[in-house]
Amino acid sequence: MIALDQITQDIIERLRGAGADKAYCTAATSVTREFNVDGGQFSLMRTLFDNSLSLTGIVGGKKGSVGINKFDDAAVSQAVADCMASANSAEADAAWDLAPEGGTRTFTQGVLEADEDRLFDRTAELMEQISKRFPKILVEQMIVSHVRSHSVYRNTNGAFYTKDAGYYNVDLMFSGHDGEAASSFFGTGAITDSLDHPFMELGSIERDLADVEKQIYTKSVGEKFTGVLLLPPGCLGSFLGDIADNFASDGPVLEGTSIWRDRLGEQVADRRITISFAPGAKEIVCGQSYTGEGFLAEDFDFIREGKLESFLVSLYVSNKTGVPRAKNSGGSMIMRPGDRSLQEIIASIDKGILVGRFSGGQPGTNGDFSGVAKNSFLIENGKITDAVSETMISGNLADMLQNVVAISRETVADGYTVLPWAAFGGITVSGK
């Protein structure tokens, strides 16, 4: 085991010796044991080793950062010199800072030792289940792995955090085929700290395979209409991520382009919406333990019962704007479930579209979006009918939050997030 604690201590001392007023660094190693499947067949088994080192120095309010993947003395010496050169050439900004208090903490998460035999068996089991239950699915690529990491964080305010984490990861890329006909490709996956359950049961893997097998033959949506957008958990997470990025993250808040900039504590969404960033939740596998600035990560509500409770900003942007900093760096999103079953929601929709995957550009600063709905189904008269060919959908992210039709009781936990299905009205679907 590489002595990362000694490496980080040495780096902090060198940065101080070179003139840094404040500094922090993270050194990490990881080992990945991986099985690859290509075209439905095992193709590769390998073990990957990775090192990473990042260091930041602040001198006279000027900040410089460097990242490398080596730990030898020559590489570290050069990184320290480059970091200080970067800081000295930067513009001074008093907003750069660290968490005011440090301490020593040790974190252990997940499963540290890989059971490679059982991991292989679970992988083979998943391949066999796909072949038997979804014969029209071609697994173009599957990567199943165990990742173990060891990291050490240290800063000049006395923070010294050590973390050991391990998890199993399942990632699939696949499509449906029937002779020459084929669906659009789709990706799904999950992480877990246990091999007690078949991979088919993780996240939304089973439902995603079933849906894609039904998307080989598609029909046009027909005429343009305004209706309901039903988002499964995976696609919902993408939309909520865009909402957070567009209205609450560092850039829009700092630049003043966020339409929520002065709405902290105000109603910005339907009262049924509560969204949290909760790395400490039991459903989250190996969530964040501390931030780069040296704060211990805490769970927090982003939106609670429709009210904006927190922006997602760093200490730097907080110091620049006066907006309270976020209690973690984002990720580990959890949305409170609703009070209706998915089937009840579908039965309530007269005209709409269930979108499994969305491909669009960056939303406008006001939240306007437009893009292509992929892996999708038409909903008519309370029933899911035809798989639809790629079609355009458009709307506004802020308006979506106010136009909630329903949120499902069911949720999907994939190790990264815990999200329900959600339906939103007022979405334009462009047919012929």
Q: Is 284's pLDDT higher than 90?
A: yes
Confidence of residue 432 (pLDDT cuts 50, 70, 90): low
Place 101 in a pLDDT band, splitting at 50, 70 and 90: confident
CB 324 within 8 A of CB 310: yes
Instruction: Dig out the tokens for 422 from the structure.
Output: 């959600």
Which DSSP symbol is given to 215?
Answer: T
Mean pLDDT of 207-229: 96
Nearest by Cα to 318 from 341, 334, 295: 295
Q: What is the model's pLDDT at position 112?
A: 98
Phi, then psi, of 141 in degrees rounded to 5: -155, 140
Its CATH architecture, for the domain 4-213, is 2-Layer Sandwich (3.30)
Q: For the chain, what is the mean pLDDT?
A: 96
User: What are 39-60's pLDDT values in tens digits?
Assistant: 878 889 999 999 999 999 999 9
What is the pTM (predicted TM-score) of this model?
0.96
pLDDT band at 250 (very low <50, low <70, confident <90, very high): very high
Residue spans in the chain of domains classed CATH 3.30.2290.10: 4-213
- Answer yes or no: is pLDDT of 294 > 70: yes
Residue 428, pLDDT > 70, answer yes
Which letter, b or e, does each residue of 79-100 get, where b requires 16 or more Cβ atoms within 10 Å of its Cβ?
A: bbeebbebbeebeeeeebbbbe
Residue 203 in tokens: 């996240």
For residues 242 and 369, is the Cβ–Cβ distance under 8 A?
Answer: yes
DSSP strand pairing (159-178 vs 103-110) = parallel
With tokens 């865009």, the residue in question is: 242
